[in-house]
A and B are shown apart, each in its own frame.
Chain A
């Protein structure tokens, strides 16, 4: 470098010299050094592992997946017997994780939205109660809360014979929660189909209404029409099916309940814990999102004569959702990851079953790879989607 300024053709010289003071060379040097060190460490770990596996005579590979699992699983959406394979057991685990996560996400979003709006209420009592709730949820470990709810089922709730009945037909006991459901009837499938048809029809109504408004200016209550279609069509189908009202009520037979829908203590404790905990975080996100829309926006929309409904739909929500959706998805991911605490209270989620699998087979690496692979697939695909979404919705600025 120092030489380069001396001669008339100095520039040429500097790019040829390999000096530690040349930024490009330096960058390459550092990268080679870091990657080299990294590769060395990984190689060392792998060679240790291979040696250890050999010494301890631990099998490797995925053959164990097709072997008989040999353990029973407390609850499952699909039929499972101990004679089934490990791969089916893991599938049961994944389904159980999804079952608690998806329902948890829906309920936590509803709860969090109410609490978040409640914190902004003009009613002092409402806003206080909501903030106390949020403070408690955010400052207590989820695991403590899970243990608390689980212990409530185990220790505080009575046996089935003395089960608590807060609402007629709903029973809380140390065997879990029992809820009445409509008795099985052929029309239910058709109602579900009608609901889907209604939603699709709602989409078409929306398109039609948009097109009509664009040409004639006439408006159409799309929202209520869609709700009407999605709920009304199943109702009509239900009427045509003879309007079956029979319910499957839980009833005490012997020492336990028969009939109705059962939530096991483990599932109920996990769901309640995840929903109340995540709800506290979602509440804060919703509140921040609402506060993030400047008051001037509401004023400008009002000054233009926009009503509450269109104002919310066209001005407030599109801006608030930009702030809300990214942290909200990360809360959804957190809830899914936190559902792995199921292992502590005995709900057979993916982590719990993979843990049993790796204990029985001794194949720790594969077991952990299954857990991490499953979670990473979900996390990474969602974060790729979020990056795309954030780019799409970012405000264009100078």
Chain B
């Protein structure tokens, strides 16, 4: 295990953000962000709302456009070039806070849409893959239902399976449990933990500190558009360095 870890550190990072800046009009959302993620790493990003953490991971697959700085994903520099954007989106899966399943398609159709149209996989093969991942998120019996007929937790697991069907190298999670009822959070987190144990590279914006302690290699704390502190989970939680981190942790752990 340790040998593997040593090997990873020598590799080039999967995702690299260098001096990234972004403005909304006059509002400076991301300030000189330097960030990297290596293959197999699981990074949890946390911070108060409006701190720019969602914006940062949404920049990675170009749902948001950064203005200055460099962003390199899997060796591809992210520019305005449509080919590059498409290439990156094929390799990067994303799970949203509000699931964003397509309500007019069945669960199975949701899962096979992108493999068929983007990866050009034959329909039958795409359906087999889809069923495989549905089994892994433990809802194969819902394949022919519509998203509106499922519970929130089930919908989010379908959304995770939908991303996995594209066989991505990296998974981005944008507050995947914030829109769920408390009793459904666990089923989604369990799926994510399982995914992490299988070695998926993950960047996860979340407030679930239990999840961070269980699987994260690194925890990043953002506030007001800056990365304030980044560390391994154990020292991060037991011995935060920055005042803002301390304040945030005390609020989130004591409620």
Cα A301 to Cα B117 in complex, Å, equals 11
Contact of A306 among B98, B117, B148 (CB under 8 A): B117
Q: Does B186 contact A (CB under 8 A)?
A: no
With A296-B96, A310-B117, A397-B148 as contacts: A305 and B102 at CB distance below 8 Å = no
Among B104, B118, B119, the residue within 8 A (CB) of A395 is B104
**CB closest residue in chain B, given A317:** B104
Could you tell me if A299 and B124 are in contact, using CB atoms closer than 8 angstroms?
A: no
* Residues 131-161 of B at the A interface (beta carbon under 8 Å): 145-146, 148-150
Please determine whether A304 and B118 come into contact, CB atoms closer than 8 angstroms. yes
Chain A binding surface, main DSSP class: helix
Tally of chain A residues near chain B (CB < 8 A): 30
B230 within 8 A of A: no
Is B103 part of the contact surface with A, judged by Cβ < 8 Å?
yes
Distance A305 CA – B149 CA, assembled complex (angstroms): 26
Check A304–B120 contact: CB distance below 8 A.
Answer: no
Q: How distant is the Cα of A294 from the Cα of B101 in the complex, in angstroms?
A: 11
Q: Is there a chain A Cβ closer than 8 Å to B220's Cβ?
A: no
Structural contact, A307 and B103, CB atoms closer than 8 A:
no
Q: Which of A217, A305, A310, A397 has the most CB of B within 10 A?
A: A305
- Chain A stretch 364-398: residues in CB contact (< 8 A) with chain B: 393, 395-398
Provided the pairs A213-B123, A314-B117 are in contact, do residues A302 and B63 lie with their beta carbons within 8 angstroms?
Answer: yes
| Number of residues on chain B facing chain A (CB within 8 A) | 36
The reply to whether B104 and A318 form a contact with Cβ atoms under 8 Å apart is yes
Interface residues, chain A, with chain B CB atoms under 8 Å away: 213-219, 294, 296-297, 299-307, 310, 314-315, 318-319, 322, 393, 395-398
Q: How far is the CA of A305 from the CA of B116 in the complex (A)?
A: 11
Instruction: Kindly report which residue of chain B lies nearest to residue A309, judged by CB atoms.
Output: B117
Interface residues of B (CB under 8 A from A): 61-63, 86, 89-90, 92-94, 96, 98, 100-104, 113-114, 116-125, 145-146, 148-150, 162-163, 166
Residues of chain A within 8 A of B121, CB atoms compared: 217
- Please determine whether A299 and B102 come into contact, CB atoms closer than 8 angstroms: no
Contacting pair B124 A398 (CB below 8 A): no
Q: Note all chain B residues with C-beta closer than 8 A to A216.
A: 122
* A267 nearest CB across to chain B (Å): 41
Least CB separation from B95: chain A residue: A303
For residue B61, which residues in chain A have a CB less than 8 angstroms away from its CB?
Answer: 302-303
**5 pairs from A and B in contact (CB 8 Å cutoff):** A303-B96, A315-B113, A319-B103, A322-B104, A395-B103
Q: Is the CB of B94 within 8 A of A303?
A: yes
B63 touches A213 (CB 8 A): no
